[in-house]
Amino acid sequence: MILFRISDFVLRILDIDPLKFKVLLSHRPVSLKTLSQMKIDLALCGHTHAGQIFPFNFIVGLFHKPVSGLHKYENSRLYVTSGTGTWGPRMRLGSRNEIVFIQIRKDY
């Protein structure tokens, strides 16, 4: 296992072949603009639980954009999953849990 700080990560990502498809796994969503600047093709994130309980889903949206789903900016894509579990109270209201299947394929 390799452990490194985010500053080291940035240096490492710069050394990767630009023709390789790059996937970033991050607990917290990363800004689409940052992903694009780092030339990340796909980021898979969680953390938000899609707001979990109404009306807090609106508050979560103030701090985390996007809250859930697939989003695209330039050549980068970000998927934020609502996850399977909860945080705090073991309930959901106004959001659904999910298990995501992502198929990555080369377009010809």
Q: CA–CA separation, 18 vs 33, rounded Å?
A: 17
Alpha helices in 15-90 (DSSP H): 32-37, 56-63
Percent of the chain with pLDDT over 70: 49
Indicate the average pLDDT of the chain: 70
Contact 35, 26 (CB under 8 A): no
Mean pLDDT of 4-27: 67
Q: Is the pTM here over 0.75, yes or no?
A: no
Can you tell me the distance from the alpha carbon of 64 to that of 82, in angstroms, rounded to the nearest whole number? Answer: 12
Q: Which amino acid is at 12?
A: R
What letter would DSSP give residue 106? -
Residue 2 confidence class, pLDDT cut points 50, 70, 90? very low
DSSP state of 38: T
